[in-house]
């Protein structure tokens, strides 16, 4: 049973300033937070903090903040921006490489698949129950455009497309050989051009596009967030083995009805639930219990063989009354990606759509269990 507790004491927060690139690096012992998390995204003293003044189950919660100027990433649309300060449940450590051939880690770094060796993954087709809690202050603006919890795909980085359009699944060794002659930025390949920096050191930079593409992933299969003065839960599916980044099929909580999918040939996007921002409980812990049956895909066949299921219960305290709302009732839904490795969880702030509205809230109480 969850016990909600908010401390009124004025206890100082503690900045969490270590960051880990989970795709390309292992996490050191000093990077790991509470034996569960590593931090990703922008690094400001205020971005991610342990917050003893707002506790959950008698433990400090995590406080997240992005200010107006904190969009440091290029957005989905050309010319747009986004900002990120999150805790990631999936990462690898040096222990995960013990007993493996000496070049395995270097290869995984080139492939940007280091986190595949670690903890936190939920395989395609598996069934899990996830629990987490969020505390939204009454001062948060209804104009925010932020995801506070998301499940992310794990793209197969050795899946490439050559200039003729042929899709090839390379071995790790073949991909390393390919990267010796070109540079990949996002999903595009570029000529590898030798250059010299101001100190006379030789390195390489990206030249012209060469027609090669790499599997980079796409929209999160599941996201909880606020947008257009609404709280929403959005499920996404992509059955294409090699993701088409130009396909922007994405449900809009302001325009699209609940459980009415928006779809293209390979992508499906569904608003599983939505309500007004004003109706979302403020100044109290809101706990979500999320049961997911991840969909099953068939790789090169570009098909979803079996849809998934989604069930969400929302719990919070309203005065002396405990509210227990079953907001998504075991719905059959397209949820997942055609990736071999599966999915992992992150929570925090993922501010999108070039929004610069300041965001502050707290999260806590995460767990995941396979069913």
Torsions phi, psi for 231 (to 5 deg): -95, 135
Q: What are the structural domains of the chain?
A: 14-157+217-370 (2.60.120.200), 160-214 (3.10.540.20)
pLDDT of the residue at 3: 47
- Who's near 95: CB < 8 A, 6+ residues apart? none
CA 281 to chain centre: 24
Please determine, for residue 4, whether its predicted confidence score (pLDDT) is greater than 80: no
DSSP SS3 for 79: coil
Whole-prediction pTM: 0.94
Give the helix, strand, coil percentages of the chain, each rounded to 5: 10, 50, 45
pLDDT of the residue at 10: 52
DSSP SS3 for 313: strand
Q: What is the pLDDT of residues 173-232, one digit of tens each?
A: 999 999 999 999 889 999 999 888 888 888 899 999 999 999 999 999 999 999 999 999
End-to-end CA distance of the chain: give it in Å, rounded. Answer: 19
Q: What is the pLDDT of residues 355-367, one digit of tens each?
A: 999 999 999 999 9
pLDDT of the residue at 83: 94
Higher-confidence residue of 58 and 76: namely 58
- Identify the band that residue 125 occupies on the pLDDT scale cut at 50, 70 and 90: very high
- The total number of residues shown for the chain amounts to 371
Distances (CA, A) of 148 to 38, 42, 291, 333, 357: 16, 15, 18, 21, 14
Q: Provide the β-strand partners of residue 276.
A: 230
Q: Provide the β-strand partners of residue 270.
A: 235
């Amino acid at each position: 049973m969850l016990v909600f507790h908010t401390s009124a004491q004025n206890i100082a927060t503690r900045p969490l300033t270590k960051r880990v690139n989970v795709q390309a690096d292992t996490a050191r012992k000093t990077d790991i937070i509470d034996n569960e998390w590593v931090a990703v995204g922008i690094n400001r003293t205020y971005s991610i903090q342990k917050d003893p003044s707002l506790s959950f189950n008698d433990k400090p919660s995590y406080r997240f903040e992005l200010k107006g100027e904190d969009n440091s990433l290029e957005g989905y649309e050309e010319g747009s921006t986004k900002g990120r300060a999150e805790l990631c449940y999936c990462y690898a450590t040096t222990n995960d490489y013990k007993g493996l051939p000496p070049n395995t880690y270097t290869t995984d770094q080139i492939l940007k698949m280091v986190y595949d060796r670690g903890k936190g993954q939920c395989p395609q087709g598996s069934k899990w129950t996830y629990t987490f809690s969020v505390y939204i202050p009454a001062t948060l603006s209804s104009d925010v455009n932020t995801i506070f919890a998301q499940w992310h795909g794990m793209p197969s980085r050795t899946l490439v497309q050559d200039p003729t359009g042929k899709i090839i699944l390379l071995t790790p060794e073949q991909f390393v050989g390919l990267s010796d002659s070109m540079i990949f930025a996002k999903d595009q390949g570029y000529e590898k051009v030798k250059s010299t920096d101001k100190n006379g050191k030789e390195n390489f930079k990206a030249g012209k596009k060469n027609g090669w593409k790499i599997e980079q992933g796409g929209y999160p299969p599941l996201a909880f967030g606020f947008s257009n003065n609404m709280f929403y839960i959005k499920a996404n599916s992509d059955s294409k083995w090699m993701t088409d980044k130009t396909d922007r099929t994405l449900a809009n909580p302001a325009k699209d009805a609940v459980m009415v999918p928006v779809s293209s040939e390979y992508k499906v996007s569904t608003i599983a639930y939505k309500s007004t921002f004003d109706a979302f409980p403020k100044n109290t812990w809101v706990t979500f219990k999320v049961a997911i049956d991840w969909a099953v895909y068939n790789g090169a066949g570009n098909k979803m063989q079996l849809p998934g299921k989604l069930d969400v219960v929302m719990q919070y305290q309203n005065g002396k009354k405990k509210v227990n709302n079953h907001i998504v009732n075991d719905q059959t839904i397209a949820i997942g990606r055609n990736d071999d490795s599966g999915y992992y969880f992150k929570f925090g702030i993922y501010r999108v759509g070039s929004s610069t509205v300041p965001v502050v809230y707290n999260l806590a109480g995460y767990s995941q269990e396979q069913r």
